[in-house]
Structure 1
Amino acid sequence: MKTILYWTIQHSRQAVHEFRLRTTYWWLSQQVEFLEWRMRWEVRGLPAESNPVPTPVGQGG
């Protein structure tokens, strides 16, 4: 009986530890994904703001 109880406690602790690690890993991957998206968005937006492209003026006839 003691062996079963000890085994259950150890495996419960291991399961909680694994759950915390998986949750932390998921949260960190979400943060990295967001930062990558934000960097791509900022890089895409910066050249348009800093170097506006002049529009050609059509010649009237």
Structure 2
Amino acid sequence: MKTTIYWAVQHSSLALHEFRFRATCWWLSQQVEFLEWQMRLETLMPAAQSDSMPSPVERGGRYAVQSL
């Protein structure tokens, strides 16, 4: 009886470990697939270049912060 319980516990633990390992492998493969898709998309449709410098806000403009 003790042997049967020990065997069942060991095998359920191994099965759980294998399930987690397979789930992690699947998740990583999905991440790689998404990154490959994103890289292909970027090569086909390069992003429009934007100004890296923000434009100055005029005093009293629509989004200007009012001084106290």
What is the TM-score with the length of structure 2 in the denominator? 0.67
Provide runs of 4+ in structure 1 moved above 6 Å.
none
Instruction: For 1:30 and 1:20, locate their aligned partners in 2 and report how far apart those are by CA, in whole Å.
Output: 15
The percentage of aligned residue pairs carrying the same residue is 63
Instruction: For 1:33 and 1:26, locate their aligned partners in 2 and report how far apart those are by CA, in whole Å.
Output: 10
- Higher helix proportion: 1
Any unmatched runs of 5+ in structure 2? 50-68
* Partner deviation per Cα, 1:2-59 (whole Å, 9 max, x = no partner): 000000000000000000000000000000000000000001112x857xxxxxxxxx
Q: Secondary structure, in 3 states, of the residue corresponding to 2:3?
A: helix
Any unmatched runs of 5+ in structure 1? 51-61
Higher-RCO chain (CA-CA 8 Å, sequence separation at least 6):
2
Structure 2 match to 1:24:
24
RMSD, aligned CA: 1.6
What is the TM-score with the length of structure 1 in the denominator? 0.75
Structure 1 match to 2:12:
12
Instruction: For 1:23 and 1:7, locate their aligned partners in 2 and report how far apart those are by CA, in whole Å.
Output: 24
